[in-house]
Structure 1
Amino acid sequence: MTTASDHPVYPDLDGAAVLITGGGTGIGAALTEGFVRQGAKVAFIDIAEKPSRELAARLADIGRHAPLFIHADLTDVGAIRRSVPQAEAAHGAARVLVNNAAFDDRHELLDMSEDYWDANQAINLRPVAFTAKAVAPGMIAAGGGTIVNFTSTSYMLNIGAMPAYTAAKAGIVGLTKGLAGRLGPDGIRVNAIAPGWVMTERQKRLWVTEEGLAQMLDRQCIKRTIEPDDMIGPCLFLASSASAMVTAQVLIADGGMM
């Protein structure tokens, strides 16, 4: 397993302004550290204040630039509109946007209300669109950039326990392709990463069972658990010039389960 300090160095990410949503915990925290170690100027938005401040403090002296934590609720589009200028004031226009924030709550279709559906999309899909919209003018003015959206393999697996979430994750793929078509002429690439079952602390606390984990590993080609740090490499690749002609694509990072 690789760690945040084990990845190749991408010179074009050194000093680049990077904005990460949901960057304070789980996969997002790993991504924040990964970009900080590249020498990027990282700002991350998260609603979880205590762990985010602890992360920012821990990473303050690791890279060339201490990360900037912006406390905001991404379900509030107004908060997104306020957060992006805050990041730009500190680091300049974003060269990289990573739309990572998500909430994979389990729920029963027959009990699902209209309010629950709307709230779920407001967490898992809407911020992807409106954060991209908020950073796009700065990227266009700067001559280009890259957006990496995190979807999930869950929508491909016919999982019945989270229909609103899997609909949102499928929607991210469509949005990724639409954004790539719209923003490509402006020099902006847009791609998605579809992780498998990543063993974040939240997953282990709420959903992981011995039986479920064994079934997952049996389906994977690579016979070990997927860790948050495993998402750093794919994200750095798509964010960097190493993927200069890659856009409108979905990179599946699931140990070969699909």
Structure 2
Amino acid sequence: MKPLMQIHFRADIVGLSIWFGNVNYLFPASIRTPILQGLTGFASPGELLAIMGPSGCGKYTLLNALAGRLEPNTRQAGEILINGHEQNMAYGTSAYVTQDDAFIHTLTVRKPCTTRLSSCCRIPCRGQTRKRAEMTIREMGLQKAMNTRVGGWGSKGLSGGEKRRLSICIEILTCPKLLFLDEPTSGLDSAASYHVMKSIASLNQRDDIGRTIIASIHQPSSEVFHLFQNLFLLSAGETVYFGTLSAANLVTPSLFFSYYS
């Protein structure tokens, strides 16, 4: 098998397309049956791609492969190209949001955002740092909670959905052109899930960055599902369907509804 090529994008290009072809993945390397088998697809700037399928189908593994986060003791094959190039990722132009919302309970919403900006960006003055942080907080719909403490066990604070949006907010402070999200609605009720995904979908409507957004997601509601433009449906590490949401029910209705009915 051909070695998996490293993910790359060029910072001078507005909008980043990611294409992957015949991606296979084995973990650990001694296992003969691939966890991912011959996957091919793409994601385009300004669009949301949902990676879906039953538990254990390889959603998390595919997301990590595309984000360049796979373990070193694995066997990988296939191609992953960013704007047609096979080079390394540059810092700050991609972001990855995990399922875990880890914050210091006593901090306000604004504080972790300004701290992150100060540590990773060369912004000349504190006022500009604060302004940029507040702009991003508003993008994620957290402006009313800007001075609210995160909270935790035994103390009032943000709701689960607000904490998830804060996690996303911190990761998009550098204006990444590629955004990867691992189960962004995990542990949330239907209303909170919709607000989180609606905030994510709205990102590309508020600026001209043209983000490419890829999310693994499990059994979303109909409202959340239709916020995506494209779908990659997996089963046992293999492709069941890849294409637009509008064509998904027409092409594979029986396969699709067998997983999510």
Q: TM-score, normalised by structure 2?
A: 0.35
Q: Per residue, is there more helix in 1 or in 2?
A: 1
Say which one has the larger Rg: 2
